[in-house]
Amino acid sequence: MGFPGDVPLLLTLCSCFCQAAAQTPLVLNTWAFADAAERAWLTLNSGGSVLDAVEQGCRQCEVQQCDGTVGYGGSPDECGETTLDAMIMNGNTIEVGAVGGLRRIKSAISVARAVMEHSDHTLLVGESASIFAQNMGFLSEDLTTNRSLSLYLEWLRKNCQPNSWRNVSPNPETNCGPYKPIKEHGSKYKTKPRPQVNLHSHDTIGMIAIDKLGSIAVGTSTNGKIHKISGRVGDSPIVGAGAYADSTTGAAAATGDGDVMMRFLPSYQAVEYMRMGIDPTTACQKAIKRIQKYHPRVFGAMICVNKTGSYGAACSKSPGMDQFHFLAFNPAKQSEQIVDCI
């Protein structure tokens, strides 16, 4: 794979304290989605804006269905339908566009940008978001593929395991729905252990772009948690949870167990840490440790960059995950990097 300046794609192993020297322009994204990073980098270096770079990079993952966790044809919900979440944010203006539970439209990141640029709103969800997209000229098409249908049918054969229900009848650990709530007087609601994750069960591309003038944008795109309850929206399209950008300070993006992570607004928290003068790696770590205080076994990971282009990353160790891969492209190098989880 070739890049401007013929700098090869390298693999860099970092400790959990990995900190990169400042340099711009920069493209940073979660996971080893190299084609997405390359598309964003080429867009930025051919005169495109940081918003263009983030949109095109995330869109590349949507087209390629990165790991089956981004774009159409992946992560069917409990009714067998694939729906999409996405968000894009302009760090210069603090404008945001986002969509949640988007149906029948393949390019969620582009619809999110349309929300930002053609409405006064920040977040549109569900069927109404799809109608908005069609009015903006986006093609309505089925997001189901043979693969997603196969995943759904296999899940049904396994008595709908795993699922996201609790405190319902029949027992969701052994049965499919429909379910009804358990309302026994004085009963204590049960909590469920979070499902074990692995390298291919994550669900989001988060991307940050910063140009030579210091303009910053962030974006996210995902098809969410597999076998989720219909209507579920995760952290990816939530401002401050899935991502956040402020060109006066920096930006952050998150990936992992979105149902837990969105409760802590880790991306916003990390940017605020950097506003206090904390370096990007430490900012990521502090945001992750805040989640670990309440959920020590939940996987989450973050990338952070300050306004000068210095960047870092962190992740929380959980069963099945003890490292986090991300990509960094700047004039000095284009490399996949790995951090050990804390």
Q: Which residues form the catalytic set?
A: 204
| Amino acid identity, position 300 | G
Give the C-alpha separation, 7 to 333, whole Å. 6
Helix (H, G, I), strand (E, B) or coil at 195: coil
**Tokens 């069609």 -> residue:** 134
The pair phi, psi for residue 307, each rounded to 5°, is -65, -15
| The dihedral sign for the CA sequence 213, 93, 29, 3 | negative
* Tokens 């840490």, residue located: 273
Nearest in space to 145 (alpha carbons), one of 32, 217, 223, 52: 223
Are 224 and 85 within 8 A, CB to CB?
yes
Cα–Cα distance list, 200 to 40, 226, 256, 335 (Å): 22, 11, 11, 20
Cβ(8)–Cβ(184) below 8 Å: no
- Between strands 168-169 and 123-125, the pairing is unpaired
Residue 312 CA to its chain's centroid (Å): 17
Per the rule left: phi > 0, alpha: psi between -120 and 50, beta: everything else, 94 is: left
* CA distance linking residue 208 with residue 270, whole number of Å: 14
For residue 235, give both structure tokens: 């952290």
| Angstrom distance (rounded) from CA 276 to CA 306 | 11
Q: Strand, coil or helix: what is 190? A: coil
Stated length of the chain = 342
